[in-house]
């Protein structure tokens, strides 16, 4: 019996290893509104980010792009070709020092230029945490408005890829939402990546732009080729429903959309899915109006449950929608453990975990 159990366990392990790198969801493209422009071309998320930075640098001669390996195109190739187009004075590599990258970006922005700084992985942003939360976020406030570093955008990858483990799969957005003065943005696809990144670069406040790295080449859709911006701090309803509201961002939007479709087919439950887009300052009113309609809320994100940004949303909604709620606000999130080396599929809030949350919420 013991040998049989070991054999079964080994078989399951091989199955997990065989699917390493496979996405735990299906990307669901959305059509960009006509006001973003009629001319479109197919882009993946990596190309959309490149296109946004190209437009930003073409329209703003003061804009510079810097970070580890960005002059070579970056480890994910998001800055490919930009040094050739704008020269090494405007697109250049930095030492492997995240604190230095953030500090340099603050100085560039204070001097009046537009700084686009890349942190190679979101997991590596923590050495720069002091610069971002103690300097960038407070520069305008502590000087009484005399000085500011608002033209600073810090780009970093974000989220799981299926095999990144504890140092390459984290979602650190909630760490920065506790500090007033920084905007935090996570796009769900190429169109949002382009429009939101341009808004961050041109905004008068420091911004952290997290790019879901699993979507870099997996996500492709028809993206407007012109210059357009998507407003910050505005959520978007990507699927209408009347029974349950799910709020998520980044990759998890696509997981939520699949779970919503499954709930419609298996349970006859109509689920509204909202992409928060800007995590801080977030669009509280949009969520409130949806929950008043559905009476139920699930928040889903990849980051650990404890002190994840879902907790802030849950607290705000129970304050404003208590008499409208038919069940407690639920959270379908990552576990309170480091990302595992092999078993990321068991860590992530998958379609089936979100579906289970829907079932429990409607049956409360």
Residues annotated as catalytic are 98, 168
Q: Are 82 and 57 in contact (CB under 8 A)?
A: yes
> Which residues 6+ apart lie within 8 Å of 215 measured at CB?
27, 44, 45, 188, 189, 250, 251
Tally of helices (H runs) and strands (E runs) in the chain: 14, 14
Strands, sheet with 63-67, edge to edge from the N-terminal-most edge strand:
91-93, 63-67, 114-119, 152-158, 207-212, 183-185, 278-280
Of 334, 332, 243, 317, the closest CA to residue 282 belongs to 317
Backbone φ and ψ of 227, nearest 5°: -90, 110
Q: Are 42 and 223 in contact (CB under 8 A)?
A: yes
Residue matched to tokens 């407070």: 138
Distances (CA, A) of 356 to 21, 215, 262, 341, 361: 24, 25, 10, 25, 9
B/e letters for 253-276, b = 16+ CB within 10 Å, e = fewer, are bbbbbbbbbbbbeebebebbbbbb
Residue 348 token pair: 């992530």
């Amino acid at each position: 019996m013991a040998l049989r159990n070991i054999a079964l366990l080994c078989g399951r392990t091989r199955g997990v290893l065989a699917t390493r790198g496979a996405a735990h969801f299906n990307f669901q493209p959305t059509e960009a509104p006509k006001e973003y422009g009629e001319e479109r071309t197919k882009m993946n998320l990596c190309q959309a980010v490149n296109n946004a930075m190209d437009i930003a640098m073409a329209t703003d001669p003061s804009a510079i792009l810097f970070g580890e390996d960005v002059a070579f195109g970056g480890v994910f190739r998001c800055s490919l070709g930009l040094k050739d187009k704008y020269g090494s004075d405007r697109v250049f590599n930095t030492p492997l020092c995240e604190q230095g990258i953030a500090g340099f970006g603050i100085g560039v922005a204070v001097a009046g230029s537009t700084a686009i700084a890349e942190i190679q992985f979101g997991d590596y942003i923590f050495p720069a945490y002091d610069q971002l939360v103690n300097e960038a976020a407070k520069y305008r406030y502590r000087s009484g408005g005399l000085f500011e570093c608002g033209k600073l955008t810090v780009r970093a990858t974000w989220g799981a890829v299926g095999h990144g483990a504890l140092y390459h799969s984290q979602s650190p957005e909630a760490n920065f939402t506790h500090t007033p003065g920084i905007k935090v943005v996570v796009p769900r696809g190429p169109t949002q990546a382009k429009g939101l990144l341009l808004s961050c670069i041109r905004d008068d406040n420091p911004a952290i732009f997290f790019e879901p790295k699993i979507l870099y080449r997996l996500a492709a859709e028809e993206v407007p080729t012109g210059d357009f911006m998507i407003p910050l701090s505005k959520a978007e309803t990507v699927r209408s429903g009347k029974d349950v509201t799910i709020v998520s961002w980044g990759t998890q939007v696509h997981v939520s959309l699949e779970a919503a479709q499954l709930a419609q087919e298996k349970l006859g439950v109509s689920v509204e899915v909202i992409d928060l887009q800007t995590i801080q300052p977030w669009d509280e009113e949009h969520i409130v109006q949806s929950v008043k309609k559905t009476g139920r809320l699930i928040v889903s994100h990849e980051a650990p449950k404890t002190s994840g940004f879902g907790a802030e949303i849950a607290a705000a909604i129970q304050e404003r929608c208590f008499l409208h709620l038919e069940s407690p606000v639920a959270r379908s999130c990552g576990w309170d453990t480091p990302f595992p080396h092999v078993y990321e599929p068991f860590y992530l809030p998958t379609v089936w975990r979100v579906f289970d949350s829907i079932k429990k919420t409607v049956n409360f």
